[in-house]
Structure 1
Amino acid sequence: MLTLTQALFDQIVAHARADHPDEACGMVAGPEGTGRPERFIPMLNAARSPTFYEFDSGDLLKLYRELDDNDEEPVIIYHSHTATEAYPSRTDISYANEPGAHYVLVSTADTDGAGPFQFRSFRIVDGEVSEEEVKIVDAY
């Protein structure tokens, strides 16, 4: 199960809304070993595409160095789907390389970026996708 604060939920949805009609992408980091999402990190979709997202390789390298320096790890890796449901595509599955992370998808399809949004979380390990419950809390 993914547990996250209402504030983080709102930030992820706001990012998906702001980048629509292009896919939004980013990460939520947390202290190593806790599995607790804490720090919202919106990223630029280097592909600038409504059907594909790509982290800028330089930005991603800088982010992973920062995570290492702060004893943090990626807890949530998120992106939006602008024309399809919130379910990992074959491409999403092939790029999922953080087995400990929650992969969150927000669908802005049929909303013109205004909502309501599908917000779903998945674990993706060795190409296997399993959906998990999302619990929104006021605080940890």
Structure 2
Amino acid sequence: MGEDGFFLLEKIEDAKAPAWLPLICALAALRRCGDEQYLRDERGVHAREGAELPPGAQRTASPHDLQARYGVKRGQGWVGYTLHVTETCEADAPRLITDVATGTAADGDDGAALPGIHQRLERRGNPCRSPCRGNGP
């Protein structure tokens, strides 16, 4: 698979190939994934293993979304992003969603989303009055 991918990329970058070919986004993904997963040396192309692979937080998890990362929270793993949902938590009132933050990398620090969440709540006149003891901010 690695040999075929590198062969294809070489043909696309050949001077005889149409100039628009290297501009195809899927080919950029192929190059990135190929460079991460395979090594090319005097012996040919072979799969990277162990320490030869980029760190997990830098490795492409999906060729369909190059920014998506593999994440694990409470034993549940996924590829993509996190979603932060903030809700009211008064004991004598229904729980209402007060903020939703999307787009945080799955391998990122959940705490990094808190300043933005607090700013949006404050701007809407709904400041965080007391910390809830639950799974979220």
Pairwise same-fold verdict (TM > 0.5): no
> When you count strand as a share of all residues, which structure comes out higher?
1
The structure whose RCO (Cα within 8 Å, separation 6+) is larger is 1
Greater gyration radius: 2
State TM-score, norm by structure 2: 0.27
